[in-house]
Amino acid sequence: MESKDYDKLWKDTLEILKISVSEATFNTYLSHTHLVGLKEIGDREIVEIGCESIFIKQQVEQRYYGLIQDTLSKQLEKSTDITFIVKSEMRKPKTETISPLFDQPKINQEEINEALKKANLRFLFTFEKFAVSGSNQMAHAAAQAVADNPGISYNPLFIYGGVGVGKTHLMHAVGHSMILKNINSKILACTAEDFTNDIVDGIRNKTTSEVRKKYRKLDALFVDDIQFIAGKDTAQEEFFHTFNAVTSAGGQVILTADKPPMEIFKLEDRLKTRFQAGLIVDVAPPDFELRSAIVQIKAEERGIVLGNDQVALIAGNITSAREIQGFLVRLFTEVNFKHVELTTDLIQSFLGKPDETSNIKIKVSPDEVITSVAKYYSLGKKQLLGDSRQRPIVRPRQILMYILKTQIGLPHQEVGRLIGGRDHTTVMHAVEKVTHLLSTDVDTQEDMKGIRKTFTG
């Protein structure tokens, strides 16, 4: 079978699989596979499927082997056996799709990098490096639609959500796409604080006309944390006119915030109205499946291969994409500088150490944590902190110890003192136990998510 026939067979197979699984599952896993080879042995067909990473291989092999086997058997009209390998694909179909854009003089990577730098876009924030799941698939689809038709599909596109959920990544990915299509696109990504500071400097230095020219003559304006212009009269006035100038000229505006426009206190009604004229989408905190994909993507960026159990261990214990990235930086720095082996035990030991540099922490007192855990499990404080060894009480107590140690950052001895004067070894055992459960047990993952929500709202 020729390679073009392989492509058609696998394209048809993926179309069938796409109907059988969720869009998030397809985009995260199955879309990153391709057909490597076919070999007929007797009355059976041996099919070799390439996966873009070891994580994709493990997930597809474990979860979708039977579904893929059945689909291929029907396509080939004979029994099949499947083997999975890690192998990247030269994506010819995508090249053919975008090739007309490059009928112009060829643009080298240095020119692209220079354009990205000029636009203030982050180099690694592309659609290819954005993991998709149920919590963010609507925002991802909207961003891709905008990238395909900037200034037309959704204008403005307003993306809101908590810290570290991928809002900025999606916004910058649109910019990447626009520059790859037209390197001369005039794009600027900034924060609301940058915009405000430029306005203030313009007034102070009598260069307001230059500032207006910088922002109002763009093909696309991307503003992060737009909620921070609320309550600042001059900044809101200037942004109102900037918004009108960009959009009326056919330019695209994308905004991110921590809440939808109507909930931003002291934001002018005329701005709220304009923001609501486009599409407003939210990005929820990543679920376990999405966090697993993020761990793998961030690890591969550093040339590190993590085992499936190690990926699950990290994803089960860290709830934010930004925290995941910070954790991996700390972990790999330790491995590279101390030349120690990257083992599951090492990962587990690091999960027990709170990151003092992280700005994503649970800012509550130990007593508030105890109260929240007791309330979540419908237990009295005396029961939770007491001596009972019944499972319905022991597990919440262990989770309480885990939160106090890893999320609040208390020493083992202090956690033990707060919970009935227990020995530090008991606390260590509880932390290890919950750390493991968070990578394997769905109930524990959901409980932790629910408890954390009582802290963060």
- pLDDT value for 26: 79
Write phi, then psi, for 86 (nearest 5 degrees). -90, 115
Do 257 and 121 lie in one domain? The reply is yes
User: Does residue 95 belong to any structural domain of this protein?
Assistant: no
Give yes or no: residues 227 and 116 share one domain: yes
Please indicate, yes or no, whether residues 325 and 443 belong to a single structural domain of this protein.
Answer: no
Domain co-membership, 409 together with 381:
yes
Residue 164 assigned as binding residue: yes
- pLDDT score, position 449: 80
435/270 Cα distance (integer angstroms): 48
Same domain, 168 and 228: yes
Q: Do 154 and 196 belong to one domain?
A: yes
166 annotated binding-site participant: yes
Which CATH number is 18's domain given?
3.30.300.180
When divided into structural domains, the chain yields a total of 4
Specify the pLDDT at position 359: 41
- In CATH, what number is assigned to the domain containing residue 334? 1.10.8
Same domain, 279 and 293: no
Residue 43 within any structural domain of the chain: yes
pLDDT at 105: 53
Whole-number pLDDT of residue 354: 54
The token pair that represents 23 in the structure block: 């869009």
pLDDT score for 104: 47
- What is the pTM for the complete model shown? 0.61
Range of the domain at 426: 366-456
Last residue of a domain, one of 264, 283, 302: 283
In a domain, 231, yes or no: yes
Burial class (CB in 10 A: 0-12, 13-18, 19+), 140: buried
Q: Is there a single domain that holds both residue 185 and residue 152?
A: yes
Q: Which of these three, 351, 376, 393, is where a domain ends? A: 351
Residue 261 in contact with residue 229, Cβ under 8 Å? no
DSSP characters over 85-121? EE-----HHHHHHHGGGGSSS---HHHHHHHHHHTT-
Per-residue pLDDT of the chain (457 residues; tens, 9 = 90+): 444 577 788 888 898 888 877 766 777 778 888 888 888 888 888 889 988 777 678 778 888 888 898 889 888 888 898 998 887 665 444 434 444 444 445 567 888 889 999 999 998 899 888 887 777 888 888 998 999 889 987 899 999 998 878 899 999 999 999 999 999 999 999 999 999 999 999 999 999 999 999 999 999 999 999 999 999 999 999 999 999 999 999 999 999 999 999 999 999 999 999 999 999 999 888 888 788 888 888 888 777 778 888 888 888 888 778 888 888 888 888 887 877 888 888 888 788 665 544 444 556 788 888 999 999 899 888 889 988 888 889 999 999 998 898 878 888 889 999 998 898 889 888 888 888 888 778 788 888 888 877 775 5
Task: Indicate whether 112 and 11 sit together in one domain.
Answer: no
In a domain, 357, yes or no: no
Is the distance from CB of 247 to CB of 253 less than 8 angstroms?
Answer: yes
Other beta carbons less than 10 A from residue 79's beta carbon? 12
Is 96 inside a domain boundary? Answer: no
Residue 225, domain CATH: 3.40.50.300
Q: The CATH number of the domain where 407 resides is what?
A: 1.10.1750.10
Final residue in a domain of this structure, among 223, 250, 283 = 283
